[in-house]
Every structure is written in structure tokens, then in C-alpha cells.
Amino acid sequence: MDKRVVITGIGAVTPIGIGKDAFWEGLISGKNGIGLISAFDASAYPTKIAGEVKNFDPGQYMSKKEIRKNDRFVQFAIAAAKLAVEDAKLIIDDSNRHSIGILLGSGIGGIATIEEQHRILLEKGPDRVSPFFIPMLISNMASGQVSIMLGVKGPNTCVVTACATGCHAIGDAYTFIKRGEAICMVAGGSEAAVSPLAIGGFSAMKALSTRNNEPEKASRPFDKTRDGFVLAEGAGVVILEELSHALARHAPIYAEVIGYGMTGDAYHITAPDPEGSGAARAMEKALKSARLSPSDVDYINAHGTSTGLNDKIETAAIKQIFNSHAHEIPVSSTKSMTGHVLGATGALEIISCALTVKNKIIPPTINYEFPDPECDLDYVPNKAREQEVEVALSNSFGFGGHNAVLAVRDFHEDA
């Protein structure tokens, strides 16, 4: 029998709020999460803005000892995972811990730890480098530490596909359950790259917005005056469960994951395929996997980075697959509010899709003021929209030509 997979728990650590409810309220109210960088002195940088997580207290989720030996991206992952498990009312014990897995990714990992330990190496010598340096920086340690803290012993792995990481992590976890390798997966992504080296590197690529005088308007996907993405930090984690397991324990169900598609551009290390064919094929594969036709899709959460190339190419890719229906589908970018959370962004956007189909409210694309002739779809400008949404797609595209798309549907037990 074909196994069905549902989302039963949500954990979010974001620039617009911590926890499922704060995140969702931020999205539907059009809350801006972008401001001047406070983590370090950015006065000498071309870009001085980012989406930072405010009022995050790791002590609410782990001990002081654990805080000291975990990079901020792992701290975010632990917090989001614990929030998701609590939200799902999932009890982990000896009866199920071998059937529950972890699949958490990070696009960059512990870059702040690398910077700090390199400084110590230069100033104090190799003997002063922390013994926790390597475990703190490697991307798989989000999965490793969460598995230890939750005590789960099923599949335990990691995805690193730049900005497609969160979507790939949830998509791959979905396939693990479909194949019978787990009954439940803790899946998502985490990132904490608001650091001098990361901001410096992305600035050198001319990838970031330099709208420093108006941080709240800097992330403006699909708008003609967009000038780059806004780097952000945070984590998104979902609990995926095989349906019969979720029903047996009377778990809350937000949405059903019904399709997953992934492709590669094989074009350029950072730029998307100018024809949008890789993105289009990923959407096509997700629809085929979900046994959907293009006309079945009611909403698309776009990758929508606020860069010149991505937004127009994603628009073209949507038109390739949806043809005339493309102009009838609401397409919004929640990055307009959160900024671009790199390896976590796809996970946060799956959460957004799940809550959209559950609550029948589509988050807006804020800061949409000046229409771009090359971006001519319905981007749900500036204000959330109450609308029936049965099926939603979430697009994620990453440096290296990685494309991932997930399809979710409002849950119906008899579907």
C-alpha cells in the first residue's frame, strides 16, 4: 500500500518570530524582519543589513554546557526541533526511538565558529583552538546533536545543497517514510551566517541588497527596483509522519506532503539556467510525483530571492509549466519578510505552505511597489489574502544548480 505522509509538528526560529504561531502571525501581517546588522560592526561593508533572529535565548532549549559547544546554527536547529516535537505532541521512548529519524541540513554550517577559532589561532596559537571546533562547524552536527538530545536512533543524515537544503531535507525525509525506513522524521534546515566573512563574501559577489537606508524595504522580490537578496538566519523543522501512525496517536495534522521533484541545472555555480528549464522540470516532477495536473495547484510559494536574475527566471519557469493558468495562481515570496535564510529557507517555506492550506490565508509579497514587465504574475502584493487553497507548491533553488520542489495538500483522511 502506498504510504501517505503528513506534517504533524512545526518548529520555527525566524527574524519575524520564534515558534509556529509568532512566525505565522508575522507572515500574514506582512511583518518585516530586516534591520541593520547588530551581530558585528558592519559599517565598512557595502551591505549593512540582514534578517537577524531577535530575542533568541538558547538557555530555554539547552544547558549552558551545551550552548558553549554548539554553533548558533545548531542552537537554532535544536530549538526548532524541540518546538516541533512539542507541537506534534510526539512522545519519544524505547517503543519508537528506532523508527524515528533526523534529516536536518545547513547550507553553510558553523561559519561564525570558523571565524572565531581562526582569530584564536592567529592571536594565541594552535594550542588554544577549541577541541569542539570541528564538531561545532560541520553541517551534519545539526542532525547529530538533535538526535542525541531527542534520543532518536532511526535514519540520521544531512543535506547540503545551498539554498535548496531545507526543501531537499524535507523531501528526502518524505521519501524515507514512503520507503518504510522510518515512521517519523524530524526534518528541516538551519542557518546562522550573519557573520563578517559571510556578509563579506556575498557582498563581493554583488548578491546582496545595499538598500541600507531602508532596511525594511530591502527585500522586495519581483519588484522592478530589487537590487539583491537580504541574508538572514534561523531554522525551520517539521515532524513528518506516516499517516496511520499519526492517526493512531491522534496527532495534529497540518497538511499532507504529496509530491517531490528535484533536478540540476548543470549551468553555472551561482546563476540559474537562463531558460529556467531546471526549475521548470523540478516543478513538473513534483506535479507528476503528486499525480497532479497544473490546474490543480492553488498557490506557489516562490523561491523569490529579490535578485534580478532569480525572480524573472522563476517567473518564466512557472509560465513554462502552468501556461495560461500561471496568471491565475497566487505566487508569493515570504523572503520579502524573513530575508533569505539560505539552508533553512526551504524548510520555513514548506511550513508557510502547510499553514496556508490549513488556514486558507496566503501570505503576501511585501515591498511590491513597482511592477517589472518580466515579472507579471499575481504576487499577492503587500497584503495577505483569504482564499481557498487545497494544493500548494514550494520552490527552492540553490547555488550549484540545485532545484527542489515540494507539493503539499490540505489533509483529507479519505483522499
Residue 132 above 90 pLDDT?
yes
Residue 214 confidence (pLDDT): 98
- What span, in angstroms and rounded, lies between the C-alpha atoms of 259 and 252? 21
pLDDT at residue number 200: 98
Q: Look at residue 192 in the predicted model and tell me its pLDDT.
A: 98
Confidence check: pLDDT of 1 > 60: no
Q: What is the pTM of this model?
A: 0.97
Average pLDDT over residues 186-198: 98
**Residue-level pLDDT at 224:** 98
Q: What percent of the chain has pLDDT over 70?
A: 100
Predicted pLDDT at 18: 98
Whether the per-residue pLDDT at 372 is higher than 60: the answer is yes
Looking at residue 317, its pLDDT comes to 98
What is the arithmetic mean of pLDDT over 187-208? Answer: 98
pLDDT band at 243, cuts 50/70/90?
very high
- Decide if pLDDT at 149 tops 70: yes
Mean pLDDT of 379-406: 97
Residue 413 reports pLDDT greater than 60: yes
Which three cell numbers, joined as nine digits, stand for 230? 537580504
User: What's the confidence (pLDDT) of residue 415?
Assistant: 72
Walk me through the domains of the chain, giving residue ranges and CATH numbers: 5-248 (3.40.47.10), 260-409 (3.40.47.10)
Q: What is the mean pLDDT of residues 273-283?
A: 96
pLDDT score of 261: 98
Does the pLDDT value for residue 301 go beyond 80? yes
- Tell me how far CA of residue 272 lies from CA of 111, 321, 398, 401, in angstroms: 25, 17, 8, 6
Q: What pLDDT is attached to residue 2? A: 82
Q: How confident is the model at residue 287 (pLDDT cuts 50, 70, 90)?
A: very high
Residues 244-268 pLDDT 10s: 999 999 999 999 999 999 999 999 9
Q: Are 385 and 365 in contact (CB under 8 A)?
A: no
Active site (catalytic) residues? 163, 303, 340
> Is the pLDDT at 340 greater than 60, yes or no?
yes
Q: Quickly state the pLDDT bin for 414 (edges 50, 70, 90).
A: confident
User: What is the pLDDT at residue 44?
Assistant: 97
